[in-house]
Structure 1
Amino acid sequence: MTDPMQDPRFLQDPYPAYAAMRSTCPVQHIPGGSGGRPSYLITGYTEARDALGDPRLSKDTAAFFAGKEPRRRLHPAIAHTMLASDPPRHTRLRRLVTAAFTTGAVAKLRPFIARVAGDLLDQWSAGERFDFVAGLAVPLPVIVICELLGVPRADRPDVQRWSAELFAAGEPDVIDAASHAMADYMTGLIAAKRLNPGGSLLDRLISARDGDDHLGEEELVSLAVLLLVAGHETTTNALGNALLALLRHPAALDRLRSNPDGVPAALDELLRFDSPVSTATFRFTRQAVTLGGSDVPAGVPVLVAVGAANRDPARFPAPDQLDLDRNAAAHLAFGHGIHRCAGAPLARAELEIALRAVLIRMPGIRLAVPPDHLCWRRTRLVRGLASLPVLA
């Protein structure tokens, strides 16, 4: 079959296409589906969850592309991140960074997150039109992760721009240039921190040890870039998607507006309903496998459509309905298995604090344009709004 992600209508609403594919077969062959290479697309929940935890599906991109003619000029620190590795390397790197995102560590950040969200919302008055994405969803997580890593304020606009360019679908030259700009910047920042150490997460990574083990220079740059990008991209998209879902479902919006303390319990359903991750990061088969009744040969990419899996009626009845009473804790928006998002606790805290602040401070918030006039980002990896015009 043809790649459905090439259809412009898919960006606006991918879920009808996902449902049609899933009803035919939850694992389908897609000619030219990954960088022009034949691949397999998973749209069923059970199949997606199994694939995300299957050690026969590798994320080692260096191994996949070994001996192949390079098509891209990505900086090695971007191409070979922790996300693009398997155990034991992945296990080692993850162990060195997970302490920064424990529930306890994130709890200490909550006052700072609340202060930033409040300062950003102070810029708008009741009834005024503003872009929720540019005004809150982008700057809040950028400021938080940059503060955590010790990125100087003057450099944060560049960091945010390079991060956005890394997801510029259909513009490989832009993506490649952004990868070098981001990696070069982080290399310089690490060198500066070695001369003048501080107490940031990046400083802790520079001195991190696991027994006699420590991070190599390229590993350090790679982790720093990954934390910067992953530390705000998912949250930015999740914030826009969640607010849009509420604005399009007045009963759910009224319920949370009258009880903002209910936001934490609603997060899983909001994340399930319109996942900020559309397709999980690159995987390929190390050996021939059978997924969802489909025989997948060795050495081919497997695309796990997280957004499709979260709308599988076999796992979530009436999946196209936003139901705040649903137990949606099993959603796959943060992934599953050893590669589940390490920063999920921080993302949840930012979502909770920001949405609660909006509901309290802007009780009359509403869409400023018809839903079908909204512009979505042109990328298959994440699902997020390019802008979300609202009236405060």
Structure 2
Amino acid sequence: MLPSERQLRAQLAFFSDFIRVQAEKGDPYAKVLGVPENPYPHYEEIRARGRLYRSSLGAWVTTDHKLANEILRDRRFGVRKADGEKIPELMSFDNSMLGLDPPDHTRLRRIAAPTLNPRTAEGWRPRAEEICDRLIDGILAEDKPFNLMTSFAQRLPIAVIADLVGIPERHHGDFYRISRRMTPLLEGAVTYEQTQSTEAAIKEMTELFVDVIAQRKADPQDDMISRLLPLVDEGSLSMAELVPMVTFVPLAGSETTVNLVGNGILALLAHPEQWRLLAERPELAAGVAEETLRFDPPVQQYRRIAHERIEMAGRTLPVDAELAIIAGGANRDPQVFSDPDTFDITRRIGADTLAFSAGIHYCMGASLAKLEAEVAFKALVTRIPRLRQAGPIRRSGSFIIRGMVEFPVAAH
């Protein structure tokens, strides 16, 4: 039975208070869950506790790059407990791949992969360039300070994803509006109001896709929905799986791109010598994307559950032990990355940054996200070379997704 509003509010308040108390007692992971403006010093506190440490909150935590990579690739860990219960922030993902372990995850991933492979992603470059130019045309025509997130960063990936999935033009506005309301699903909804809002948004998005799917049945196009519908007819994919797939996979991919663009521009403007270097050499735009993924990744941490008793890093993990893999900390592991706190767009990354996870849950939209960010960085520095921050930023308030709600900038 689902908890009542009063029970849910009480549970959330208790958990929030517990985190606060443990942070005050010095637990570095509790400090991270408090969503500080700059979590990176706390990641170093975690690193100082050892390769794998047990937080007073109960989770096992690591910022060690090698160990994080091993855990993400280890099939003995998954996203569900032994009894099938999901990790809390994935509760609303139902039949989506994001909340499934093999064999269902493997089957659905194989079905979706052709739409999101690197070769297919490259084919979207002209469309991404067209969208960037259109958005910048509108920004320059306004000739006033603007919020980079709402005027540019959020609109680029949503427009690309809408076309890729197969959402007709007349539904683009609704798709954008509902998608923004669903982001707490990825961020880890922490209030009753967020929970209610996202549940309502899921219902609205499901209704939208039921309509779109009916349209694509009648008029197939070159898009994800049209390619997947025959699989429903033949029985290898159910309608109950199709709707979450075309809802949550694009949502996860677009939200990563939104914050990759925002975090990258913020880092460039905070390091003016790097902005000038990019202006002189726009071909470094791909390097900006890669370095941003290392230096300030959109996804800061992943959760995994031990499916069996596991000996690791000198520790014994029981069945259903919960692990927090801190990608934001692993990406600044000095054992792997030299001068890890330095933002350098000419850096040869070398190692996997874990910014898109690793192993069977590696983000299928990684190539598309990096391509869109590359196009965005090149377009902005070329067409708005005097871009500057025009006011204080406001962050989203998530310990999972690191990004901004407000990023005021000006063209000159």
Both proteins in one fold, TM over 0.5: yes
**Matched letter for residue 151 of structure 2:** G
**Matched letter for residue 20 of structure 1:** E
Q: How far apart are 1:121 and its partner, in Å?
A: 0.4
Corresponding position of 2:288: 266
**Matched letter for residue 210 of structure 2:** T
1:158 aligns with 2:180: no
Q: Closer, same or farther in 2 for the Cα pair 1:288/1:162, shift >3 Å? A: farther
**Matched letter for residue 125 of structure 1:** L
Corresponding position of 1:20: 45
Question: Structure 2: how far apart are the matches of 1:178 and 1:226?
Answer: 12
- Give the one of 396, 407, 411 matched to 1:377: 396
Q: Closer, same or farther in 2 for the Cα pair 1:181/1:63, shift >3 Å? A: farther
Question: Structure 2: how far apart are the matches of 1:297 and 1:159?
Answer: 42
Q: Deviations over 1:23-49 (max 9, x none)?
A: 1123232344xxxxx322222211111
8 Å Cα contact 1:286/1:299 also seen in 2: yes
Corresponding position of 2:320: 299
- Give the one of 95, 109, 120 matched to 1:80: 95
**Matched letter for residue 77 of structure 2:** L
Q: Closer, same or farther in 2 for the Cα pair 1:58/1:346, shift >3 Å? A: same
Q: What CA RMSD, in Å, does the superposition of the two structures yield over aligned residues?
A: 2.5
Q: Deviations over 1:102-149 (max 9, x none)?
A: 232222211111001100000123973111111110000000000111
1:284 aligns with 2:311: no
1:125 aligned counterpart, secondary structure? helix
**Matched letter for residue 223 of structure 2:** S
Corresponding position of 2:74: 54
Q: Deviations over 1:285-330 (max 9, x none)?
A: 1112234333322113222111111111121122111122322242
**Matched letter for residue 200 of structure 2:** A
1:290 aligned counterpart, secondary structure? strand
**Matched letter for residue 15 of structure 1:** Y
Q: Closer, same or farther in 2 for the Cα pair 1:125/1:188, shift >3 Å? A: closer
Q: How far apart are 1:269 and its partner, in Å?
A: 1.3
Report matched runs for 1:300-319 at 5 Å.
300-319=321-340
Q: Deviations over 1:170-190 (max 9, x none)?
A: 132223332333233323322
- Give the one of 124, 132, 140 matched to 2:156: 140
**Matched letter for residue 100 of structure 1:** T
- Give the one of 182, 189, 201 matched to 2:212: 189
- Percent identity over the alignment is 30
1:90 aligns with 2:112: no
TM-score (norm 1): 0.88
Q: Closer, same or farther in 2 for the Cα pair 1:197/1:183, shift >3 Å? A: same
Question: Structure 1: how far apart are the matches of 2:346 and 2:51?
Answer: 27
Q: How far apart are 1:385 and its partner, in Å?
A: 1.0
Normalized per residue, the structure richer in helix is 2
Task: Please identify runs of 4+ aligned residues in structure 1 that moved more than 6 A.
Answer: 70-73
Q: Closer, same or farther in 2 for the Cα pair 1:299/1:103, shift >3 Å? A: closer
Q: Closer, same or farther in 2 for the Cα pair 1:278/1:131, shift >3 Å? A: same
Aligned residue-pair number: 375
**Matched letter for residue 316 of structure 1:** F
1:5 aligns with 2:32: yes
2:146 aligned counterpart, secondary structure? strand
TM-score (norm 2): 0.84
Q: Closer, same or farther in 2 for the Cα pair 1:161/1:61, shift >3 Å? A: farther
8 Å Cα contact 2:178/2:204 also seen in 1: yes
Question: Structure 2: how far apart are the matches of 1:194 and 1:203?
Answer: 7
Report matched runs for 1:198-237 at 5 Å.
198-208=221-231, 214-237=236-259
8 Å Cα contact 2:69/2:358 also seen in 1: yes
Q: Closer, same or farther in 2 for the Cα pair 1:312/1:98, shift >3 Å? A: same
Q: Deviations over 1:309-354 (max 9, x none)?
A: 1111121122111122322242111111121111111111101111
1:109 aligns with 2:132: no
Q: Closer, same or farther in 2 for the Cα pair 1:103/1:128, shift >3 Å? A: same
**Matched letter for residue 209 of structure 2:** M
Corresponding position of 2:387: 365
8 Å Cα contact 1:60/1:85 also seen in 2: yes
- Give the one of 340, 362, 378 matched to 2:362: 340
1:30 aligns with 2:55: yes
Corresponding position of 1:35: none
Q: Which runs of 5+ in 2 are unaligned?
A: 1-26
Q: Which runs of 5+ in 1 are unaligned?
A: 33-37
Q: How far apart are 1:61 and its partner, in Å?
A: 6.0
Question: Structure 2: how far apart are the matches of 1:335 and 1:80?
Answer: 20
Question: Structure 2: how far apart are the matches of 1:183 and 1:213?
Answer: 21
Question: Structure 1: how far apart are the matches of 2:217 and 2:69?
Answer: 41
**Matched letter for residue 319 of structure 2:** A
Corresponding position of 1:131: 147
Q: Closer, same or farther in 2 for the Cα pair 1:301/1:183, shift >3 Å? A: farther
Q: How far apart are 1:264 and its partner, in Å?
A: 1.7
8 Å Cα contact 1:64/1:299 also seen in 2: no
